[in-house]
Every structure is written in C-alpha cells, then in structure tokens.
C-alpha cells in the first residue's frame, strides 16, 4: 500500500478540505486568467523569451507573463527582499499570496499563531536558475573548473539548496509546523499536495500550504531535454506544439509555473466558516522500477497508483466524473497513460471525460501536478471540463474520450489527476465535491 490515507481500515480520519487556491501558470497570472485560458481553448506556449533559443532544437515554452519584480504581493510578508532567490521561489510566493488571500479574507494572522501550519511544496529542479547564475558568476562563465573560495557568500550556499524554497515560504507565512520540499521529478507537485493532505490526516498540521513550483527555462535544461528528444521541435507554430493523445504529437513543451492550495482540516475550515472548494480524499504513489526516462506500454504501476487512490477514497471508478491526465504529449507517455486508465477504471475509462491541460500551458515539471489539481478543483466548482486542445488526428493506441478542443459541461463530483515522472515515479490523487463526500461519509 502506498502512502496516503483513507478510511478503508475503518479508522476515523480527518477530512482534508481545500479552502484556497492560487495559480501562476503560463500566460497571465492568477487563477481566473488560468481558468479562462484552459477552458477557452487558448495556448500560452510561445517562442522562449527568457534567453535566445536559436541554437536549440526546441525553442518554445510555456512562459508566465509576470515580471520578477512585480510578482510579490506584500500582504503577508515583512517586506523582505526576494530579488535574489530563485525565480521558482518567487513564482511560489505569488501563487501562495493568492491562495492565502483566497482562503482568508482576514484572520490568517490569527491562525498562524494559534494553529499548527505546515508546508508541503514540490519542485523537480528547484534551484536551477540560481545554480546557473551562480555557476556563471563563480566560474566566470565556465572559464574556471575550480572555483575560488573567497569571502563567505551565503547566496552561493543557500542559493543551491532546494530547501531554501521551504524556508522562504515558512518565514514569509510565519509557519511553525513541519515544512517539507518534496522532489519526485514530474510528480513532485501532485505528491506534495498528497503528502500535505496526509500531514492533516495524521494530525501533524491543521493547515498546510501545499503546491509545486519550477522555473526551468534555462539553456541547460532545454539542452538536456533536446538531447533525448523529449521536447517538441514544432517551433514554427508554438501554440500547436503541445498535442496530447494526438497522433502527430512529438514531445512535451517545457514550461514554468507554480500553484498553491490551502489544505485544511475540514472541521477547522467549517468552524471558521471558510469556503470549501473540494476535498482531497485519496492519494497514492508507486514507481515503475523500469527506466529513468522510458515508459512501457502497459502502465501497470500508474494503474496501481490510481486503483490505490480510489481505494483510499473509498469510491468506485464510476464515481470519477473527470480525469485530468498527465498527458504530456510524448509518444510514450500518452500510450502508457491510456493503458493505465483502462486497467484502473475498466469500462468506465471509455465513458469518463479525460483531458490534458498541458496542451494549453505546457509541462512545468514539479509545478504542473499542483496546477492540474487546481484545474480539477475548478472543474468541480464550475461543472466544466477543460479540453485537450490541438487534438486533430486520433491515435489508434489512444482511444479514449480526450475532450478535444472545446470545453464540455458535465456534473463533476469526483475528479482524478495523474502524474508520471522521470525516475519512474507514478502518482494519482482523487478530489471530490464536499457535498457528495458528506453523503458518502
């Protein structure tokens, strides 16, 4: 059995509410802009502007329209200078400011002193931007292999630590409970939310700031994915490059972003009169033990994660009304995932709407799992399934309902989100409408 929670063992467990959401996804910042983009069939993929991509195979990305010095809302912080931290941290701060503002019209300060607040935040390549900047500075652009051990430069120490993300968030939001930076390749964001929910489930925290962030749009990252032809070379039409489940898909589109969910003990949330968007009811993770980057066509381990997440939620496949797929737009993944959904959901896999919002926003590594959970939350709130855009030519190996190109109205009480990452990591999470959950419980 995987890490997670549920009441399948008949032990009374704490329910995990989502009471606030914040998104900095490619395109315009904020959750409203994000939702509008992915439900309108738009794309935020464009030619990379953060450096000159001319010499790279893949020259496109999902970029956030947000300036570094404009993203920090000084509502919770003490006016601290975040200009020297990794862009991934600044994106996370912006998403978290929005999420906490959403969850607490006022009163966060009271909670932060009276309750145990934790952080569970995911990142696949965390401090990569600072790593490159500091490398350039201390090796003079790579001239020196040995670096000078000059005066102590705390930036060179903390700048390389992935844990600096957690420390920055904890300081800014006066966190006193457990803080964890979760890293599991491209399942980091989903895993961080799942593990954050487990922190509430276990009673470690009353409130958890959970999410994911990554800002990998750097020459070294683009070059490394070029080398294995994992990313799309469709540079002439960037907005059409990410095409999950389409027969002409030719790789994922790299992106940046961050998303934060405020997770809260349901009783705690209801006691303070908070709006509860949804509940997280099941989470599971496995590994495929197969290959660091490759996937087989069977999807057995992802199917296993999905089945365990459903088991922990205590619901049947038929109670899933929407699947937000990993849908990375690589040949391998989309076949692998289709098979996994068939195995785990059975006949229901042929009836449930499945979509990949990476078609609109690309793949932001350790962030996108959290972004996709928010897509599920909003899908439940709005009873609207965001589409898979750029879906034109069916692939006979991918033969499910991928909600092509146009959003679809549907009653959504239960949603499933999946993730798959380098290293063989496979994860699944179940999000449900709290009203239905009340009926089930």
Residue 150 CB burial class (10 angstroms; 0-12, 13-18, ≥19): exposed
Q: Are the beta carbons of 257 and 275 closer than 8 angstroms? A: no
The structure tokens listed for 157 are 């120490």
Cα–Cα distance for residue pair 340/344, rounded to 1 Å: 6
Measured from the CB atom, is 11 or 411 closer to another protein?
11
Binds another protein by CB under 8 A, chosen from 174, 342, 397, 408 = 174
One of 32, 51, 74, 228 touching another protein (CB under 8 A): 228
Q: Which of residues 145-164 bind another protein (CB under 8 A)?
A: 145-149, 152-164
Q: Is 81 in the site for another protein (CB under 8 A)?
A: no
From the list 111, 186, 376, 398, the catalytic residue is 186
**What is the helix (H) or strand (E) element at residue 286, kind and residue range?**
strand 278-287
Q: Is 181 near another protein (CB under 8 A)? A: yes
Binding status of residue 139 toward another protein by CB under 8 A: yes
363 carries an active-site annotation: yes
Q: Is 51 in the site for another protein (CB under 8 A)?
A: no
DSSP conformational letter for 386: P
The question of whether 268 is a catalytic residue gets the answer no
Neighbours of 139 (CB within 10 A): 14
Site size toward another protein (CB under 8 A) is 91
Residue with smaller CB distance to another protein, 370 or 385: 370
Range 405-424, binding another protein (CB under 8 A): 421-424
**If residue 45 lies in a helix (H) or strand (E), which one and from where to where?**
strand 45-47
- Please report how close the Cβ of residue 401 comes to another protein at its closest, in angstroms: 29
Nearest one of 298, 323, 302 to 397, comparing CA atoms:
298
CB of 255 to another protein, least distance (A): 15
Which residue has tokens 């929670």?
5
Active site residue 174: no
- Does the footprint of another protein cover residue 429 (CB under 8 A)? no
* Near another protein in 365-404, by CB under 8 A: none
Residue 9 near another protein by CB under 8 A: yes
Closest CA to 315 of 345, 350, 278, 349: 345
Query: 53: how many CB neighbours lie within 10 A of its CB?
Result: 18
Q: How far is the C-alpha of 353 from the C-alpha of 331, rounded, in Å?
A: 20
> Min. distance of Cβ 2 from another protein in angstroms?
4
Cβ 285 to another protein shortest distance, Å:
5
Residues between 258 and 317 with contacts to another protein, criterion CB under 8 A: 284-293, 301, 304
3-state secondary structure at position 238: helix
Residue 247 binds another protein (CB under 8 A): no
* Active-site residue set: 186, 326, 363
């Amino acid at each position: 059995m995987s890490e997670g929670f549920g009441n399948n063992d008949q032990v009374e467990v704490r329910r995990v509410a989502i009471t606030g959401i914040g998104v900095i996804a490619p395109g315009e910042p904020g959750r409203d802009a994000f939702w509008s983009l992915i439900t309108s069939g738009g794309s935020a993929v464009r030619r990379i502007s953060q450096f000159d991509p001319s010499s790279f195979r893949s020259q496109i990305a999902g970029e956030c329209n947000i300036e570094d010095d404009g993203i920090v809302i000084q509502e919770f912080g003490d006016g601290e200078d975040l200009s020297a931290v990794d862009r991934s941290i600044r994106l996370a701060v912006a998403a978290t400011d929005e999420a906490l503002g959403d969850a607490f019209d006022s009163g966060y300060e009271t909670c932060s002193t009276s309750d145990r607040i934790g952080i569970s935040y995911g990142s696949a390549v965390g401090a990569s931007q600072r790593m490159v900047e500091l490398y350039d500075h201390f090796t003079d652009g790579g001239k020196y292999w040995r670096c000078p051990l000059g005066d102590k430069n705390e930036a060179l120490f903390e700048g390389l630590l992935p844990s600096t993300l957690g420390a920055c968030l904890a300081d800014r939001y006066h966190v006193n409970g457990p803080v964890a930076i979760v890293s599991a390749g491209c399942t980091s964001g989903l895993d961080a939310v799942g593990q954050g929910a487990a922190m509430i489930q276990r009673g470690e925290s009353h409130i958890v700031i959970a999410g994911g962030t990554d800002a990998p749009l750097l020459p070294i990252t683009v070059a490394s994915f070029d080398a294995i032809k994992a990313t799309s070379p469709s540079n002439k039409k960037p907005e059409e490059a990410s095409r999950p489940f389409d027969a002409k898909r030719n790789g994922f589109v790299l992106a940046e972003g961050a998303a934060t969910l405020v997770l809260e003990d349901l009783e705690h949330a209801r006691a303070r009169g908070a709006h509860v968007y949804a509940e997280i009811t099941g989470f599971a993770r496995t590994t495929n033990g197969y290959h660091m980057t490759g996937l087989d066509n069977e999807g057995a381990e992802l199917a296993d994660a999905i089945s365990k997440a459903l088991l922990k939620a205590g619901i049947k496949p038929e109670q899933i009304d929407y699947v937000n797929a990993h849908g990375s737009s690589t040949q391998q993944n989309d076949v692998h995932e289709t098979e996994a959904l068939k195995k785990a959901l059975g006949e229901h896999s042929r009836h449930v709407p499945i979509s990949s919002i990476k078609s609109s926003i690309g793949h932001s590594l350790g962030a996108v799992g959290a972004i996709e959970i928010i897509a599920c939350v909003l899908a439940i709130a709005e009873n609207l399934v965001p589409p898979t855009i750029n879906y034109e030519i069916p692939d006979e190996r991918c033969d499910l309902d991928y909600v092509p190109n146009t959003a679809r109205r549907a009653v959504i009480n239960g949603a499933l989100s999946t993730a798959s990452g380098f290293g063989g990591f496979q994860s699944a999470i179940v999000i449900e409408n709290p009203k239905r959950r009340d009926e089930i419980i």
